[in-house]
Amino acid sequence: MRQKIEQAVVTACQALYRLEIAVELTRPDEQFGDYATNVALHLSKQLNINPREIAQAIAEHVKGKMSDIEEVAVAGPGFINFRLSDLALLKGAQSKPTQSLAGKTVVAEYSDPNPFKVLHAGHLYTTITGDAIAKLLENAGATVHRLNYGGDVGLHVGKTMWAILRFVGGEHPEQLESVEAVTRLEWLSERYIEGNTAYEENEQAKAQIVAVNKQVYELHARNDHDTPFAQIYWTCRQWSYDGFDMFYEQLHISKFEKYVPESTVTQLGIDMVQKGLREGVFERSDGAIVFKGEPHDLHTRVFINSGGLPTYEAKDLGLAASKWQEYQFDLSVIITANDIVEYMKVVLKALEHFYPEVVSRSKHFTHGVIKLPGGVKMSSRKGNILRATDILDAAREANQAAMGHDNEQTVLAAVKYAFLKQRIGGDIVYDPAESVALEGNSGPYLQYAHARARSILAKSDPASADSPGVPALDTEERKLVRKISEYAETVDKATAELMPHHICTYLYELAQVFNRFYEHSRVLNDPRQELRLQLVTSYADTLKKGLELLNIPAPEHM
RNA sequence: GCGCCCGUAGCUCAGCGGAUUAGAGUACUUGGCUUCGAACCAAGGGGUCGUAGGUUCAAAUCCUGCCGGGCGCACCA
């Protein structure tokens, strides 16, 4: 419909002014119509004609040519407003999002928690955002490979392993049995804090940790699964992955295809740096191997440190290469926090030397930090970080306080929606009480708006389904249909930009329109029951689809 | 110091490939349940869109300076 009208306007411009011009329709305020364009305002300059005059001419030209358009009007400084016929509007309500990525292969990397550490609030945010973006891509027809990358080697592992060894009294893997299964993740995070503190405060411990770190790298190099040290390492690494799996499961998100541990791409990364060194892309500096970013308006970063160990940069190079070798993707999406944007630019610039096609197909999305109300930022250094589970617990508590009972689906809707409704990029303020609040722009509001509609449908008699043709829509009905008809194009927009918040904004508006309709319009036992039941069905289905696109559950009852 | 990002109602945010009267939520005030779920709806007040310029018939939206905030800038990730 949109394209048909756009085409009609283009044709009119050609016929009237012999001008080829791109026309894009907008969705104006209801009082003006269903679609609008401001081409006349653009043309007026080139043609040196009053915009209203041009608008009038185009409107006349289009008028009567399309049965779907009921009215074409000129308004304001020179807008052309189109009002669709009820039939066309109803048809539009059934349109589906475009399969714009059909046949494409996409790799989506997000969440990325590190084994041997705890999931913090930022991980929760990345996970939910990445999950929604991956879903969007998939919905547009792409084959999406969801990858979860994480550091199973590196200094933080050295810190945790150092503390673990102290805890179990040396290389005694059997001592690990004393750690209870449910507390393992927690236990590991305590060890990390211990190791981190020691590293910062105690020179001797620091030296030991550096040695342990090296030991971990060596263990991978020999593929050692047998020595006591290796047994401790592998056991604890598995504990981490098991813990992450459990966490994702309760989050009700799409499953990851696999974890990509850093250790599996390390050697590839090192080889690339060595090769790049020979080819002059990297250079030695103070014993380290670095990439000079300055010629590209970037900064210099170390890829292999002076101890001969690869840094995150080198591993990221290996990761990118391994993704490419495995998937030959059309698009690679990486979602992380935004403190890493400059870093990523350097890595991508270095990567350009090896795989320019990978760089051009990569998209790095970054989000901000989670803050608590009052602008209090979480401090990540010390032990007092806000953990992922803290967010969920806070939401559960708030929900319990508000409702008097537990409802995990409401809690999930609250948290996910609270994170997703804002444009990706900036910091977000998370207020547990507000997210769980059942009024206002919240996940639970949408769930309620869905359940309410379903409950009408459940009470209706499905037998009397002989449709008597479509009567003219009344005001409230028309508003509802119009809003439903915006679903497909909203999803298209969200997909094109990979911005899930557009869907949130839309769904909230949709639910609002429905609630107003509900307030004014009797559905059951009304002369217009047939039509209205169709609308309610269409509405509830649309809302459910939209929520599912965000992986937010849409229960029939609450 | 350099680079990147951000500054829209008290608070939290949409809108930002320019355009028809700046929108929501929340908080505050008020009204609406003997009829489909009131977790709802309706009404009201509240904004020099950080600031000063520039481009334009038209700027919250584009450009520049300034102010304020966040983040990043070599062996952490």
The model's pLDDT over A491-525, given as tens digits with 9 standing for 90+, comes to 999 999 999 999 999 999 999 999 999 999 999 99
What tokens does A41 get? Answer: 């305002």
For tokens 């005059």, name the residue.
A53
pLDDT (average), residues A55-82: 92
Residues 346-375/A with CB within 7 Å of nucleic chain B are: 369, 373, 375
The answer to whether A140 and A101 have CB atoms below 8 angstroms apart is: yes
CA(A522)–C1'(B33) in Å? Answer: 15
**Torsion-angle region of residue A176: left (phi > 0), alpha (psi -120 to 50) or beta?**
alpha
If you measure CA to C1', which residue is closest to nucleotide B5? A426
| Sequence spans of domains, chain A | 2-84, 155-251
Strand B closer than 7 A to residue A203 Cβ: no
Strand B closer than 7 A to residue A400 Cβ: no
pLDDT in the model for residue A398: 84
Strand pairing class (A105-109; A331-337):
parallel
pLDDT for residue A250 is more than 80: yes
| Nearest nucleotide, CA A421 to C1' | B13
Q: What is the pLDDT of residues A159-171, one digit of tens each?
A: 999 999 999 999 9
Give the whole-number percent of chain A exceeding pLDDT 70: 96
| Nearest nucleotide, CA A529 to C1' | B36
Distance CA A264, CA A107 (A): 17
pLDDT in the model for residue A379: 42
Q: What is the pLDDT of residues A323-342, one digit of tens each?
A: 999 999 999 999 999 999 99
Distance CA A417, CA A506 (A): 12
pLDDT in the model for residue A24: 85
Distance CA A484, CA A289 (A): 57
pLDDT in the model for residue A466: 54
Residues 530-549/A with CB within 7 Å of nucleic chain B are: none
pLDDT in the model for residue A524: 93
Label residue A461 by pLDDT band (50, 70, 90): confident
pLDDT (average), residues A438-462: 91
pLDDT for residue A380 is more than 60: no
Label residue A463 by pLDDT band (50, 70, 90): low
Q: How far is CA A413 from CA A178, A251, A524, A555, in A?
A: 37, 10, 29, 11
If you measure CA to C1', which residue is closest to nucleotide B37? A452
pLDDT for residue A402 is more than 90: no
CA(A462)–C1'(B36) in Å? Answer: 15
Strand B closer than 7 A to residue A421 Cβ: yes
Label residue A64 by pLDDT band (50, 70, 90): confident
Residue A443, burial from CB neighbour count under 10 angstroms (0-12, 13-18, 19+): buried
pLDDT in the model for residue A372: 78
Bridge-partner residues for A84, per DSSP?
A: A69
Bridge-partner residues for A149, per DSSP?
A: A260
Label residue A383 by pLDDT band (50, 70, 90): very low
pLDDT for residue A438 is more than 90: no
pLDDT for residue A175 is more than 80: yes
Strand B closer than 7 A to residue A97 Cβ: no
**Which residues lie below 8 Å from residue A178, measured CB to CB, with a gap of 6+?**
none
Distance CA A413, CA A447 (A): 8
CA(A497)–C1'(B17) in Å? Answer: 13
pLDDT for residue A545 is more than 50: yes
Collapsed DSSP state (helix, strand, coil) of residue A176: helix
Distance CA A411, CA A393 (A): 9
Strand B closer than 7 A to residue A277 Cβ: no
| Nearest nucleotide, CA A22 to C1' | B17
Provide the H-helix boundaries in A252-295.
Answer: 263-278
- List bases in chain B with any atom under 7 Å of a protein Cβ: 3-6, 11-17, 19-21, 24-27, 32, 35-42, 57-58, 70-77
Q: Model's pTM, two decimal places?
A: 0.94
Q: What is the DSSP string of A354-383?
A: H-HHHHHTEEEEEE--EEETTTEEPP-SSS
Mean pLDDT, all residues of chain A: 92
Distance CA A21, CA A337 (A): 40
State the DSSP H helix or E strand holding residue A331, giving kind and residue range, or none if neither: strand A331-337
pLDDT (average), residues A285-303: 95
Positive or negative: CA dihedral A278, A282, A284, A289: negative
pLDDT in the model for residue A384: 57
Strand B closer than 7 A to residue A285 Cβ: yes
pLDDT in the model for residue A529: 92
CA(A476)–C1'(B45) in Å? Answer: 28
| Nearest nucleotide, CA A150 to C1' | B77
pLDDT in the model for residue A371: 85
CA(A301)–C1'(B6) in Å? Answer: 26
Label residue A153 by pLDDT band (50, 70, 90): very high
CA(A430)–C1'(B39) in Å? Answer: 21
| Nearest nucleotide, CA A452 to C1' | B37
Residues 308-327/A with CB within 7 Å of nucleic chain B are: 309, 311-312
pLDDT in the model for residue A295: 92
pLDDT (average), residues A245-261: 96
How far from chain centre, in Å, is Cα A298? 28
Q: What is the rounded end-to-end Cα distance, in angstroms, of chain A?
A: 37
Q: What is the pLDDT of residues A4-24, one digit of tens each?
A: 999 999 999 989 988 888 888
Strand pairing class (A143-150; A258-261):
parallel
pLDDT in the model for residue A460: 87
pLDDT for residue A206 is more than 60: yes
Distance CA A511, CA A450 (A): 8
Collapsed DSSP state (helix, strand, coil) of residue A258: strand
CA(A288)–C1'(B49) in Å? Answer: 49
The answer to whether A80 and A37 have CB atoms below 8 angstroms apart is: yes
CATH-assigned architecture of domain A2-84: 2-Layer Sandwich (3.30)
Label residue A47 by pLDDT band (50, 70, 90): confident
Strand B closer than 7 A to residue A155 Cβ: yes
ipTM of the complex: 0.96
Q: Output DSSP code: residue A74.
A: E
Amino acid at A259: Y
CA(A336)–C1'(B5) in Å? Answer: 14
pLDDT (average), residues A73-84: 93
What tokens does A479 get? Answer: 């508003």
